[in-house]
Amino acid sequence: MAPGDPQGFPLCVLTVHAHPDDEASKGAPTLARYHAEGVRTVLVCCTGGEEGELHNPSLREPGQPFHGLEPEQERALLAELRPLELARSAEVIGFDEVVMLGYRDSGMKDSPANEDPASFHQADFDEAVGRLVEVIRRTRPQVIITYNDDQQGYPHPDHLKVHDISVPAFDRAGDPDWYPDLGPPWQPSKLYYTVWSRRRLLAVHEALLALRGASPFDEAWFERPDQDGRITTQVPVGDHMWARSGALRAHATQVDPSEAFWFGLSDQELADVYPYEDWILARSVVGEPGPGELEDDLFAGVRVSVRQ
Ligand SMILES: [Zn+2]
C-alpha cells in the first residue's frame, strides 16, 4: 500500500524548478528514493529553458545532430529536443507527473530575454503564485521543495523567482480566501530549500584529488558563502545516485558527458564519499528537528508509521 499521512492522504512531494535540467542537478536521488518507496512525485518546471545553449560540443561533431548547423538552426533544434530530454530525465528519476508552468526562460541576469513579456521574470507575481497554487491544490503534496532564499552563488532571475513564488504558494494554497476558483484549499506541511552544501563539495573535491589527481573545483568554489549551518535534513541516497547521473545524461544538449564537474566520480564513488543529499527545512506545520538534530526523512512528522 502506498505510504500515507495521518488523514489518509497518500504521501506526495512536489518540487519546483526553473528550467529543464535543474531537476537532474538538484535532488534527483532524493526524488528517485521517494518514488521507489511509493510516494507520489510531482515536478513543476516554470520555464521551457528557451534561452539555453548547446553545452555539449561533441554534438557538433560529424555524424552528430548539431553538425554544420547555423546558429538559428541550432536554436530551433534545441527547442525541439529540450522537452524530450526533460521527459526522459523525469522518467529516469521517476516523476509521476510533470507540470510545465508555462513561462518563457528569462535568460541570464541583464540579458534582453529578461524583458520579454512572456518571460518568467516579467510574470505578474500573484498570477504566477496562483498557477503554482492550482497545482498544489490538485496534487496535494505534504512536502514542497524549492530553491533557497540565498542564491548568491547562482543568481539566475528564474531561480530567484522560483523561490519567490514558492513561499507564498505554500501559504496561499491552504488559504480559502486566495484564488477561490483554483480548487479546494490544501495546506502543505513542510517546505524545504535546496542548499549548496559545502561539506558535500569538499568530500567530492577531496575524492577527486585522491582518485583522479585533479578536481574542477577551484578556490572560488570554496569562497562561496557557507550555508552548512542551516542544514536540517540529510536524506540517505547512496542507492539512488544513478538517478542523478542518468537524468543528467538525458539532458544531452545541456550536459557534457566528459565534464568532471558532473561526472568526475562514478555513482558508486559518490555513494562511498557522501551518500546523502542535504536540505534546509524552511517552514513546517508539523514541528522541526531540535537544535543539533538532523532529520533523515522529508516526511518526518507527516508519515504514518507502518505497523510491522
Ligand atoms: Zn536553471
Instruction: Answer whether 3's CB lies under 8 Å from 307's CB.
Output: no
Ligand 1 mean position to 267 CA, how many Å? 23
Ligand 1 mean position to 159 CA, how many Å? 6
> Looking at this protein, which amino acid is placed at residue 183?
G
| pLDDT confidence of residue 225 | 83
SS3 track for 8-43: CCECEEEEEECCCCHHHHCCHHHHHHHHHHCCEEEE
| Pairwise CA distance, residues 43 & 138, whole Å | 13
Ligand 1 mean position to 170 CA, how many Å? 21
Claim: this prediction has a pTM higher than 0.85: yes
Ligand 1 mean position to 108 CA, how many Å? 10
Ligand 1 mean position to 231 CA, how many Å? 22
Ligand 1 mean position to 2 CA, how many Å? 32
Ligand 1 mean position to 308 CA, how many Å? 42
| Pairwise CA distance, residues 239 & 136, whole Å | 29
| pLDDT confidence of residue 308 | 41
pLDDT in tens, the chain (308 residues): 789 999 999 999 999 999 999 999 999 999 999 999 999 999 999 999 999 899 999 999 999 999 999 999 999 999 999 999 999 999 999 999 999 999 999 998 888 899 999 999 999 999 999 999 999 999 999 999 999 998 877 889 999 999 999 999 999 999 999 999 999 999 999 999 999 999 999 999 999 999 999 999 999 888 888 899 999 999 999 999 999 999 999 999 999 999 999 999 999 999 999 999 999 999 999 999 998 899 999 999 999 865 44
| pLDDT confidence of residue 2 | 81
Ligand 1 mean position to 289 CA, how many Å? 30
Instruction: Answer whether 86's CB lies under 8 Å from 20's CB.
Output: yes
| pLDDT confidence of residue 150 | 87
| pLDDT confidence of residue 306 | 54
Closest CA to 90 of 240, 237, 241, 246: 246
Ligand 1 mean position to 259 CA, how many Å? 18
Ligand 1 mean position to 19 CA, how many Å? 5
Instruction: Answer whether 149's CB lies under 8 Å from 142's CB.
Output: no
Calculate helix-pair angle for 28-37, 71-93, nearest 10 degrees: 40
| Pairwise CA distance, residues 26 & 146, whole Å | 10
Ligand 1 mean position to 65 CA, how many Å? 24
Ligand 1 mean position to 188 CA, how many Å? 24
